[in-house]
Structure 1
């Protein structure tokens, strides 16, 4: 598809491990995101904040493209309504060998070219999404996505935390 995948480098790396393991390199979760999305059976959860301050968490279909995380949601869902009021959120996933939480700001993608390109990526993973201007349509989606059309969001990454579940072990936070 000709997508450019450049390496985002953290500005700060902080070792959170209490057992003597060295800090983990950002390349470890990043490479897992590159290789495991969109084809691996991964469940991503986005955490948002309701207008009254209470938390909300829901599963989303997410992919890593062009060194960024993208996810979808119907405009009428609680998570989309929360993001419209406060775009700050976190997205968590268990990757092979590392649990990862990504924190940042969800920005709605409205560029039809980017939406079309991401529809191709979702198709390669088995979801028959079609771009319709600045939204997705498809014969189906997860029940938590709400009815079509679906919006595409890009997470502007600010911080990530990884906890290794396989050798080499460790726990690290990265600031971007």
Structure 2
């Protein structure tokens, strides 16, 4: 568990279920990502205001979500102009939609820690300068290097898809 504590919890359930505990979402994130079996979608905003969505592989470390992008990819170009984004994912027993802002990470310590996390999940990422390289990445990722981004979480919506059911909004 990360020790992250929401400052506001709102029960969104219409069927009488109590609010979900943040620890359930935290545990699902900690045990599920990164994994090739978990697909997550990053939502960003194009310069003209239209939405854009892209599948990304995410990692959960110390209460933050991380993902990578080629600097030339639409998502990276969108984030350069507007860091506001969403990340949606289905985990074991709970669906999450995360809202926040993404920032590029360039410090060697964080890059090294995330490379280790990704390597343990089967992606042989290596730190090269202030980005990652590897012999392969997702077919849509474009060529290396791949920049690392941290999603600073503001709000998370959770909907439990297994018992105990419920729907909750956590603000941080």
Please classify the TM superposition score into its range, dividing by the shorter chain length.
Answer: over 0.9
Q: Which residue of 2 aligns with 1:120?
A: 116
Post-superposition shift, 1:40? 6.1
Counterpart residue number, 1:97: 93
Contact 1:115/1:133 (8 A) holds in 2: no
Aligned residues: 172
Tell whether 2:55 aligns with 1:59. yes
TM-score, normalisation: structure 1: 0.95
User: Would you say 1:85 and 2:61 are equivalent positions?
Assistant: no
Gaps of 5+ in 1: none
How many Å separate the matches in 2 of 1:146 and 1:24? 38
Structure 2 gap segments, 5+ residues each? none
CA-based RMSD of the aligned residues comes to 1.0
Encode CA deviations 1:39-98: one digit per residue, 9 max, x unaligned: 461001100000000000001111101121100011000000000000000001000101
Q: Does 1:132 align with 2:143?
A: no
Following superposition, which runs of at least 4 residues in structure 1 exceed 3 angstroms of deviation?
none
Aligned ranges 1:145-164 → 2 under 5 Å: 145-164=141-160
TM-score scaled by length of structure 2: 0.97
Alpha-carbon offset, residue 143 of structure 1: 2.0
Q: Give the equivalent residue in structure 2 for 1:25.
A: 21
